[in-house]
């Protein structure tokens, strides 16, 4: 995997992350408010699940 590939992946991630607030700003804002009310452990578990899914996809497709 080259630096160029990593930068392309980062750029794609930023595009995907930006779609929610751009296309659905009110829903995104409500989701962020809801997330801010969750306890830290629940947020940590969501983060871990996302990390594991990402690692799994990287392993599967590489």
pLDDT given for residue 61 in this prediction: 87
Residue 33 inside a domain? The answer is yes
Residue 61 inside a domain? The answer is yes
C-alpha span between 37 and 57 (Å, rounded): 30
pLDDT given for residue 30 in this prediction: 97
**Segments forming the whole domain that contains residue 42:** 25-62
pTM of the predicted model as reported, rounded to 2 decimal places: 0.72
Residue 11 inside a domain? The answer is no
C-alpha span between 55 and 62 (Å, rounded): 10
Q: Which residues of the chain have pLDDT under 50?
A: none
pLDDT given for residue 47 in this prediction: 95
Residue 52 inside a domain? The answer is yes
- Check if the beta carbon of residue 5 is closer than 8 Å to that of residue 12: no
Three-state DSSP state, 58: helix
Residue 36 inside a domain? The answer is yes
pLDDT given for residue 26 in this prediction: 98
């Amino acid at each position: 995997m080259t630096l160029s590939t990593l930068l392309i992946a980062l750029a794609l991630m930023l595009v995907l992350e930006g779609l929610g607030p751009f296309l659905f700003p009110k829903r995104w804002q409500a989701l962020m408010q809801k997330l801010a009310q969750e306890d830290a452990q629940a947020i940590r578990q969501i983060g871990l699940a996302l990390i594991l899914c990402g690692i799994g996809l990287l392993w599967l497709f590489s």
